[in-house]
Amino acid sequence: MSVDPASPPPAAAPPARARWRDYTTLAKPGISALIVLVAVGGYFVAAPRSIDLGRLALLVATGAAASAGASMLNHYLDRDLDARMRRTRHRPIPEARITPSARVAVLGLLLLGIGIAGASIYLNLLTGFSIFLGGLTYVVVYTAWLKRRSSWNIVIGGFAGSAPALAGSAAAIGTWTPGALALALLVFLWTPPHFWSLALLLKEDYASVGLPMLPRMGDPAYSARIVVVSAALLLPATILLAGSGPITLPVAAILVAVALLFLVLTLPLWRSPDRTIARRGFIYSGPYLLIVLLAMVANWGLIGAGFRGL
């Protein structure tokens, strides 16, 4: 067989390492880590008498698997949108670095199923059910149903981030405690100001594909004020958590302080939908939730040291 010297050589197959990096990207490791931390926060706010490291490790493993699987399904279902948006067009599926893309859906379903089944079998049914609720909300309710249809998508879809707190409580003591429910509510209320701050920065990109990712896509000023209102709601949620804990006084003070700072950083958006302010609120929102979750771990230690809950 002759070869035309002018023709380009056949493209080499991508190395295995590159393919694994692509799958890792689709698993959204940053989001999965945050989901796992929410579950750990729920575990500790349930105030178990002692920490069972084996059960805690199982909670982390099953939660991470389910979160990675749900993220892969999100990427698969959004593959047409990702190909058209400037922010997402270089993801592995739009660039056809994983073909056929159905492989992503299969792996996502497998990981989600492993997470739910593993938690149900090795922890308890309520933990598995909590993880199932989170996956169902993120994949079906948010991604497949509401994301393209309603500006309420991120509000209702926010329950996906709250469910791990319930899973953590169930893994710790076998039930959903008032403190875990309050933490789940706080995470639920955190999601809109976190995401809407980002959406203010990317509103043109979302508008180009018709995604209603702000309260009013055509009215940035109104949407910016809603970000302020949603950030303000974290204060009563914090007080509810402090009263439902048991949360010690030092931790309650930290929770109120970081919630007040979130409000202070976003408050100027009431006057103007300034991109710099929106970016500042979005950047702070991640560390804010991290501090809240780490405070739940510290709170358990303080209770063990003799501090009383409020």
Instruction: Kindly list the domain boundaries of the chain, sorted by start residue.
Output: 20-174, 177-310
Instruction: Single out the residue of 59, 80, 81, 63 nearest to residue 27, CA to CA.
Output: 63
pTM to 2 decimals? 0.92
Binning pLDDT at 50, 70 and 90, where does residue 309 land? confident
CATH 1.10.357, domain 177-310, yes or no: no
Give CATH superfamily name and number for 20-174: UbiA prenyltransferase (1.10.357.140)
In which residue are the tokens 């991604």 written? 143
* Whole-number pLDDT of residue 2: 40
Tokens of 181: 């429910």
Number of H helices and number of E strands within the chain? 14, 0
Length of the chain, in residues: 310
Q: Stretch 261-281: mean pLDDT, rounded? A: 96
CB neighbours of 66 closer than 8 A, spacing ≥ 6?
111, 112, 114, 115, 116, 119, 131, 134, 135
pLDDT of residue 7 exceeding 80, the answer is no
pLDDT of residue 44 exceeding 80, the answer is yes
* Whole-number pLDDT of residue 4: 47
pLDDT of residue 246 exceeding 70, the answer is yes
Could you check whether 20-174 and 177-310 share the same CATH topology?
no
- The per-residue pLDDT for range 133-180, each reduced to its tens digit, is 999 999 999 999 999 999 999 999 999 999 999 999 999 999 999 999
